[in-house]
Amino acid sequence: MIWVLWLLAAAYALLTIALWRAWNGLPEKRESALHLLEKPTITVIIPVRNEAANLPFLLADLTAQTYPHFSVIVADDASTDTTAELARGYVPVAPYPLTVFTLADDSTVASPKKRAIAQSITQATGTLIVTTDGDCRVGPNWLDALARFYQQTGANLISGPVTFTTERTVFGSLQTVEFASLIGAGAATLAMGKPTMCNGANLCYEKAAFEAVDGFAGVDHVASGDDELLMHKMAARFPKGVHFLKNRDALVETAAHQSLGTFYQQRKRWAGKWRAYSSVFPTLLAVFIFLSNLTPIVALGYWLAGGLSGSATLGIVLLKLTPEFVYLRSVLVFLRKQSAVGWIPLTQLIYPVYVLFFGLAAQQPGIVWKGRKLK
């Protein structure tokens, strides 16, 4: 059994080094100005539910965009607050075309967010669809960076970077580190030609490509996955057409969870997506990460039981943690989260228990999200 622990720790270290190299190998895009090329039109889709406190800030951020060729659709998912009224009130003053519509509350819909996006796309006039969330903040060059990258690469789908706004709590800082690991892993595996993860808070794809893969058909029974499951469909249809944009101008920020309850429901929802993966690689990677994070827990258990020396236990733990720290630090620096680097060790200590907990929690059906019970 001891040799299995060493093998898993070594394999995880090699994987982390590979991810770090792939991440660092992604060039930071500083594109020159677009000249003669035809500039793509963009439709920004914002599916929202009960975001009255946040949506006005995002709509104001869109007012400040330097890229002029875009329109916005706010798809109100039967909000019980004033989200729809606030959005409609912004229509007359918005300097961009703004459409607001409200979806009926239908308990038979397994994934309300996918429904909101799909119905918005039927109304979209842009060549490119860009999705974000109602509680996000974007910089003035966000759409410009996406449009430039699209013209450079001809990508069918572009995954953009997402991070949390500055947090002064321990809980928020730990979330920042954990979330950075997901963004970095998604970017690195895309660079390696093996797409795994992306985030719908910053996702761009061709409307024609969405239609070519028949949208969310086949994955619309899963509560989550309007981002990753769509990306996997795109990657299967367009193997060279899925890219990550490593550009700080394209960075989207969102708030960390303030309560353990909402954090639990979101992570459980995310963890449940792996069962719907059509590609074998993301599934195998998820299982491997689960087993690798069990390694230090099992090693400590063997040490406490007297079956493993202290030096061997420390070696196994450090073999996992050292390359992981280097990799996470690199991602956090890009995301402008240098202040969170000091929280990496604590996150690393908690993360094995976290992975085990949510790996098991995801096996239980049902989540509660924004006042709704979803399967």
Sorted by where each starts, the structural domains of the chain and their CATH numbers stand as 2-22+280-365 (no CATH), 28-276 (3.90.550.10)
248-267, pLDDT tens digit by residue?
999 999 988 888 888 887 77
174-233, pLDDT tens digit by residue?
999 999 999 999 999 999 999 999 999 999 999 999 999 999 999 988 878 899 999 999
Instruction: Name the burial class of residue 110, with classes exposed (0-12), middle (13-18) and buried (19+) by CB atoms within 10 angstroms of its CB.
Output: middle
45-86, pLDDT tens digit by residue?
999 999 999 999 999 999 999 999 999 999 999 999 999 999
Residue 260, pLDDT score:
82
Q: Evaluate whether 255 touches 135 at the Cβ level (below 8 Å).
A: yes
32 versus 317: the higher-pLDDT residue is: 317
Backbone angles phi, psi at 150, to 5 degrees: -60, -45
Tokens of residue 326, six digits: 């280097």
355 versus 186: the higher-pLDDT residue is: 186
Instruction: Name the burial class of residue 356, with classes exposed (0-12), middle (13-18) and buried (19+) by CB atoms within 10 angstroms of its CB.
Output: middle
Return the minimum-mean-pLDDT range out of 25-29, 180-184, 194-198, 366-370.
366-370
Residue 367, pLDDT score:
67
**What band does 38 get if pLDDT is binned at 50, 70 and 90?**
confident
129-151, pLDDT tens digit by residue?
999 999 999 999 999 999 999 99
Q: Evaluate whether 263 touches 257 at the Cβ level (below 8 Å).
A: yes
Residue 363, pLDDT score:
67
Q: Evaluate whether 221 touches 111 at the Cβ level (below 8 Å).
A: yes
